[in-house]
Structure 1
Amino acid sequence: MAEAKRPVIPDVRLPNHGGDWTAEDKARVAAEIGAACRSGGYFFLYHHGIDADLLSAVYEETRRFYRLPAAEKIKYNSSERSQFLGYRGLGREKSTAHAGAEACEQYRIGNTKGALGAPVAADFYHAPFEKGACLFKHLVDLGDRVLSACADDLGLPAADFDSSMNSPML
């Protein structure tokens, strides 16, 4: 019996580690992303410009936070008031797949719609994850560039998706 051939996940290599791109660079990246999205729907992205040291720092920051006692973590509890930024303890999330609660902890950083109510500020919820918030900003910028390339490949204006991405992760 013949083994099923595993699909190859395409590579997309960004020019200049995410810096300024020439028109040819933009066209190549747009075509590669478009082809990848049409074939399998996913791809590996290389030369994205996100420093490996930042990624390591985010992992360490995360380990440090989740090692804290529950009484410390709960100070950052997420709520409607925080626009759901912050900590969600064990069992706080309910599953749609079963009747029980999820056996995981979560912490959400991200953008908000305008200012959070006084005295709560988004910076308070980002405080335990300073490096994570920095990574989030880099990923939003990278996502904007990838979506711009998708728009280019579809023959749309490069900023066509911008209005849908004004407040990601709300």
Structure 2
Amino acid sequence: MPSLPLISVAGLISDDADVRRKTAAELGRACREVGFFYVIDHGIPEAVVNRAFAGARDLFQLPIDKKQALSIKLSPHNRGYVAMSDEKLNPAAGADQKEAFNIGTDFPDDHPEVVAGKPFRGVNFWPPIEGWREQALDYFNHCLNLGRTIHRGFSLDLGIDEHFFDSHLSAPIATLRMLRYPASAGELDREDGAAGTHTDYGNVTILATDEVAGLEVLNRQGEWIQAPYVPGAFVCNIGDCLMRWSNNHYVSTPHRVRPPEQERYSIAFFLEVNPDSVVDPRDIVKDQDPLYPPILCSDYLAERLNATYDHREGSRKSQG
């Protein structure tokens, strides 16, 4: 059994309110005590996940010039290709040894928010691979639905209206990030060699991994523990924005990816709320003084993102 909690989230969509509350309590306990957990019975078909991983492999096998033509440096909205060593999640450990590709909500180029240049509202870049866009968006939409369900569990556990987050997740900032870590070149002793120690910035991350080890989580006792592959499960973790919103009732957890012994793929789905949502602990904690002032979600993310890149062109998200 994995050392992280394993939660069946099917209970969150049960018609039985007691079942929903019981499942939400399991979720909340994981968020308070660990900050990481596995979810099973999530409703995302295995075929959808397999197609997403196949698409990631096809993408990263493209020639470097075709990938660079889709570079994230050409997007002010966190879309596109991130080359090897372009990120430093932990600057003290040097550049991350990984490449990535980000897509967000698929806005057309004539969408009013795109035309207006609204933060985190841009067009996606698409690789020249037949059917790739449709497969990636299918996976994106499945993860978004799961993220909304998990947020209803957060609401129940925190003692607020079960549907509190629904309006904040109507058109959220969401990023699907495909990641490839090359096999280590004799650097297995580098603890932060693949993705440096960091916490995620948003509300919740939904991560699918292949069977190659690498992800490690810093538990509350200060020990690094592995988060191994569990068939049919996603690894989820709390981000800094939800920690802030919950007034530190939920705590984001440092994690890293060590250099893998063989090539490793993962797909992360980072879910924040709508750009114009105000993140205010007073929404959730009624009987305590807020530890943080209110802030727009888009402003909070913009404050956090650029430091992991060597370039500073626009607002970008950099998470492992």
Scaled by the length of structure 2, what TM-score is found?
0.43
Structure (1 or 2) with the larger CA radius of gyration: 1
Q: Deviations over 1:137-159 (max 9, x none)?
A: 21122112111111111111123
The CA deviation string for residues 99-153 of structure 1, in whole angstroms up to 9 with x for no partner, is: 85433211111237832689xx735437745323322221122112111111111
Provide the rounded CA distance (Å) in 2 between the counterparts of 1:48 and 1:152: 18
Is residue 12 of structure 1 aligned with residue 12 of structure 2? no
* Number of the residue aligned with 1:27: 21
- 1:7, 1:123 → 2: CA distance? 36
Counterpart in the other structure of 2:114: 115
Query: Could you tell me how far apart the structure 1 residues matched to 2:82 and 2:138 are?
Result: 21
> CA-atom RMSD, angstroms?
3.3
Q: Does structure 1 residue 151 correspond to structure 2 residue 155?
A: yes
Partner of 2:174: 168
Q: TM-score, normalised by structure 1?
A: 0.74
Amino acid at match of 1:79: K
Structure 1 63/116 Cα, relative in aligned 2: closer, same or farther at 3 Å? farther
Aligned positions, number: 162
Match of 2:48 in 1: 54
Q: Distance in 2 between matches of 1:68 and 1:7?
A: 35
Query: Does structure 2 conserve the Cα–Cα contact (< 8 Å) formed by 1:13 and 1:29?
Result: yes
Q: Is the 8 A contact 2:7 2:27 kept in 1?
A: yes
- The sequence identity of aligned pairs, in percent, is 25
The answer to whether the 8 Å contact 2:79/2:103 transfers is yes
Relative distance call for 1:7 and 1:84 in structure 2 (3 A) is closer
Q: Does the alignment pair 1:102 with 2:103?
A: no
User: Greater CA deviation, 149-158 or 70-79?
Assistant: 70-79
For structure 1, which segment, 23-32 or 7-16, has the greater mean C-alpha deviation from structure 2 after superposition?
Answer: 7-16
Name stretches of at least 5 consecutive residues in structure 2 with no aligned partner: 108-112, 176-316
Q: Is the 8 A contact 1:14 1:47 kept in 2?
A: yes
Q: Match of 2:66? A: 72
* Greater strand share, structure number: 2
Task: Specify which structure has the higher proportion of helix.
Answer: 1
Match of 1:135 among 139, 154, 172: 139
